[in-house]
Each structure stands twice: as structure tokens, then as C-alpha cells.
Amino acid sequence: MSQKKPEKLVDENDVRLDSRGLNKLRPIKIEVGVLGNADGSAYIEQGKNKILAAVYGPKEAHPKHLAIPDRALLRCRYHMAPFSVEERKSPAPSRREVELSKVITEAIEPAVLVEYYPRTSIDTFIEVLQADGGTRCAAITVASLALADAGIPMRGLVAACAAGKVEGRLLLDLTDVEDKGGEADLPLAWMPNLNAITLLQMDGSLTIDEFEQVVNMAVEGCKQIYELQKEVLKAKYVTVKEEVEE
Amino acid sequence: MKSSIMVRVKQKQIAQLVSLGKRLDGRGLTDYREIQLEVGVAGRAEGSARVRLGKTEVMVGTKIEIGEPFPDVPDQGVLTVNAELVPLASPTFEPGPPDENSIELARVVDRGIRESKAIALEELCVEPGKKVFIIFVDVYVLNHDGNLIDASALAALAALLNTKMFKYEVKEGEIKVKPGYIPLPMKNYPIAVTFAKINDKLIVDPWLEEEQVMDARITITTDKDGKVCAAQKGGYGCFTTQQVLEAAKIAKEKAEELRKLVVKG
């Protein structure tokens, strides 16, 4: 089943296996309002990643002792479908998924006006249906759209994108093989409205200078994703407006 | 935590002090608390260390077992890091399976050791695909007074450097223990440095009261060559790009100081 690792991930002309340039994103397709029951939902395809996000809330917090007197409890659950990866992943939450749920919540909370809904919970469920590297970033991108689709008041959208180092070159939006075969991976979430980084993780090895370049590269990627997010949301409300006017 | 009244009262005071470049306990913004390090504190463990970072206290023990390698790296030993936030360490810790905080702590410590290639895992293979050594690093928090990540990462590194492996030979696929010990093969020395952001300023080594009022935190782990090998942002706030880059630079300098405590010579 498993494919053989190619010898070179980036060729001498700086072209990657999927024929992308070094600072290019994978093709991205986003939809909002894709699920019937959820208060808000969104779907993203970024390269081979396919991720769904749904938002339920604000609603009464359960269990009750978790309710916060002066703000809403925001919870994001990142979960991978057992069939989303090469070898079946057990559906029970792994340690990785627990950590990612935590950092994704912390990446999105700065954007949400949680103080508007004290004692409630806002639950965001993220399901990775197909994974190919960079799922936590795509998850943040799609979850912030699902929150916007649910009409939750926000300070802005959060866009996320990874950058890293592969075979000595710095590149944007790593695929799974690039991440595994590369020297470093740095997922980053960016809030254009606050000009701020809301998620930053890194593993691998980078000099301080490379670290700076990779952070800046990831921020640039996030800015491009943000433009797509805005378009998708606007397009949805144009459709809604047309429907209402009919 | 942030909503409790006492914390709100202190928040103002701590934030005001930080904007003047001062802290409640008299430290400068980039000063660590006093660090005490002891090694060999658990006789039954293959290696151990206890770090006191101010009143924060963390003990780490390592154990070595023989087991199977991961299928994708059949010729390498296995590193497993676990963290326990045991209830004796803080009124906010509860018994039970690891929660997201202890999992994050373990994974940040793990990432520093793994990504800097601190342990020569390739030397811990007995029989490729079948038998390798598994290094268990168990982080045990004894008293929580803030900045568990740096204290745990430091204790973990010290415990690994203190770890002794039994000598062995392989006879017909069986491991035969020989008398004597060798140190665990180590190649790198990662050091984690954590910052809290309070009032738009970065402070190093936040203690508990600062953690309770901070907007966000960021940990940068650097290796012996000054390269960044792991990073983790936490907390419900955000950082500017400049703050992140500033943190990376300070982390590299601070790590050099801390490394001298653990790595002798």
C-alpha cells in the first residue's frame, strides 16, 4: 500500500513534487454552510486535505461546572477519521489530537467575542476526512469560517498555514511527504485584523535567521488564505441576498 | 482562572509593574528564578533529576526497556515522554488520566528532545525491526508554581544525561547482560525557554501568578548550536511577528546560560 519515498522532494529548478514553486500554496477550495443540523459549518480542500468543521452554540454549557461566569466556553475538537490516513487510525482521541484540539482552541479564541455569551459553550467540531500534511492549519482556516457562518461575533477571521525547510530550501504549505522528509515544519495561524499570530508551533531544526524567514513566509501564506476566506463568505451572503429578494 | 477576583486584582498590579520593567518578585523581565538541580535522586531509575525553579519542583526519572521499534524507523530506539500532573503538586490538579495540559507538557518536552536528536537513537537498536531499547522519560510535577515546561525540559535533559545503560551482548538473538554500565548515548542538549506576554511585553520564566494573568505564552527550544528545534505557543492571546522573533533571540541566549547548569565541561 505505502508509496515509496521519492529521492528528491524539490528539484534543481526549485519545483516540488506536485509541480508547485517554493512559496506557493496548494489549490484551495472552500465552502460554507455545508451541513444541515449545525449552526454553522464549512468544508475545505487544500491539496489532498479534506476537512469539515461544524459549530454548535452558543448553548448552555455542559457539564455545568465548566461554565465561565463572564464569557463563553469555546471548545474546538480536532479529530481524524479512521480512514483519513494510510494506516487506519483508531477513532479514540490520540495524544496528538488532544494537543491539537488545545492549540487550535487557543488559536481561535482570540478571534471570538466570547464575552458576549457568558455561561454558554460554543463547540466547534473538526473532522479530518482525508489528511495530507498541514491538517491543523487547514482545520483552523475552516473552523474560523464555520464560526463566522454560525453568526458568532468575531474580531476577524483566523487563517493558518505552515512553512518549513525541505532539502535546504524554505517552502510554504508542506505536504505530508515534505513534512516527513524535510528538516523543519512551522504551522502558524494569523489574524489579519489584529495583525497577530495566534498559533505557532515548530519542530525540526532552523537557525534564528531561517526561523524568521519561515515565520514571515507562513504569514504571507496566511494572508493569501484570508483573501479566499473573505471571498467565500461574501459569495455566500450574495447568494442569500438574492434568495431573499426573489 | 482569569475570572477569579484575586487574579483580577493582581492582574492590574502585575501588568503595571511589567510596563515599568519590573516584576512582583523583584526579577528583571528576562531573569529566571533561582534554579537548583540534583541528579541521581531516584535509585531505581536508570537516570533521574530534580529541578527546582523557584518554588516549582519537577522530578524526572528514566527507565529503559527492550521492545519493538516503530515500523517506519525499524533501526532506531524509541523515545517516550509522559508527564504526570499529580494532585499533590497543586490544588488545581486532579487525579485521573492525563488531561490536555499534561499531554501538551509531555509533547513539548518530547519535541525538544526528539527534534534536536538529543539521544543517539540509532545506537539503541539491538536487532533491526525486532528489538530496540525504549527510553521512557517520566516527568513528575511535585510542586506547581509556574513554568512547568522549562523546569520539565531541564529536568528531562539532566535525567537523560544521568542515565546509565547496562552493558550487553547479543547471543543468538537474545540479549545477555554483562557487568558494568555505559552512559546513554547523547548528541545534543535542547533547552526550552518560555515567555509570557503581559501588557504587550515578554517576560521570561513566568511564575504561577504571572501565568494566571498572562495573555499568552510561547516556548522556544534551542539546541547546542543555537538552532531552534521546537516552538509552541499557548494561551488564549496572540503575539506579533516581532515578539515571536524577539523571543527566539532571547531564548537562544538564555538557553546558553541554562545549558551550563546541566552539561558540564
pLDDT tens for each residue of B89-144:
999 999 999 999 999 999 999 999 999 999 999 999 999 999 999 999 999 999 99
Expressed as residue numbers, the domain containing B72 is 5-262
Answer yes or no: do A103 and B114 touch at CB < 8 A: no
pLDDT value at position B169? 85
Chain B, 3-62: which have a CB under 8 Å from a chain A CB? 3
Spatial separation of the C-alpha atoms in residues B41 and A212, rounded to whole Å: 40
Identify which of A191, A181, A149 has the alpha carbon closest to the alpha carbon of residue A57. A149
| Residue of B11, B228, B229 best to disrupt the A interface, most CBs of A under 10 A | B228
**Predicted TM-score (pTM) of this structure:** 0.93
Is residue B224 scored above 60 in pLDDT?
A: yes
Nearest-Cα residue of chain A relative to residue B105: A99
pLDDT value at position B173? 74
Answer yes or no: do A197 and B249 touch at CB < 8 A: no
Spatial separation of the C-alpha atoms in residues B130 and B236, rounded to whole Å: 44
Is residue B159 scored above 70 in pLDDT?
A: yes
Q: For residue A28, give the C-alpha cell.
A: 484551495
Longest Cα separation, chain B: 69
Answer yes or no: do A203 and B114 touch at CB < 8 A: yes
Q: Count how many pairs of residues, chain A against chain B, have C-beta atoms within 8 Å.
A: 100
pLDDT value at position B265? 56
B10 confidence band (pLDDT: 50, 70, 90): confident
Structural domain count of chain B: 1
Q: Dihedrals φ, ψ of A196, to 5°?
A: -140, 155
In chain A the first and final C-alpha atoms are separated, in Å, by 52
Q: For residue A124, give the C-alpha cell.
A: 466547534
Residue among B103, B245, B252 whose CB faces A99 most closely: B103
Q: What angle do CA B229, B262, B211 make, to 5 degrees?
A: 65
Provide the 8-state DSSP code for A82: T
Residue among A69, A98, A186 whose CB faces B100 most closely: A98
CA distances from A165 to A3, A206, A211, B51 (A): 22, 8, 10, 34
Instruction: Read off the CATH number of the domain in which B172 is found.
Output: 3.30.230.70
Answer yes or no: do B248 and A212 touch at CB < 8 A: yes
Strands (E) in A112-230, as ranges, are 120-130, 159-166, 169-172, 184-191, 196-206
Contact between A10 and A24 under an 8 Å Cβ cutoff? The reply is no
pLDDT value at position A241? 84
Which positions in chain A touch B233 (Cβ < 8 Å)?
Answer: 103, 106-107, 197-201
Answer yes or no: do A68 and B3 touch at CB < 8 A: yes
pLDDT value at position A2? 47
Is residue B1 scored above 50 in pLDDT?
A: no
B252 touching A, CB under 8 A?
yes
All structural domains of chain A, each given as residue ranges with its CATH number in brackets, are 28-245 (3.30.230.70)
B7 confidence band (pLDDT: 50, 70, 90): confident
Identify which of B265, B254, B189 has the alpha carbon closest to the alpha carbon of residue B53. B254
Is residue B12 scored above 80 in pLDDT?
A: yes
Answer yes or no: do A215 and B104 touch at CB < 8 A: no
Residues in A lying within 8 Å of B, measured between beta carbons: 68-71, 95-96, 98-99, 101-103, 106-107, 109-110, 186, 191, 194-208, 211-212, 215-216, 219
pLDDT value at position B202? 97
Q: Are strands A40-46 and A28-32 parallel, antiparallel or unpaired?
A: antiparallel
Contact between B178 and B169 under an 8 Å Cβ cutoff? The reply is yes
Chain B, 197-226: which have a CB under 8 Å from a chain A CB? 216, 218, 223, 226
Low-confidence ranges of chain A (pLDDT < 50): 1-2
Which positions in chain B touch A211 (Cβ < 8 Å)?
Answer: 228, 245, 248
| Residue of B202, B239, B241 best to disrupt the A interface, most CBs of A under 10 A | B241
pLDDT value at position A243? 86
**pLDDT tens per residue, range B52-73:** 999 999 999 999 999 999 999 9
Which positions in chain B touch A206 (Cβ < 8 Å)?
Answer: 227-228
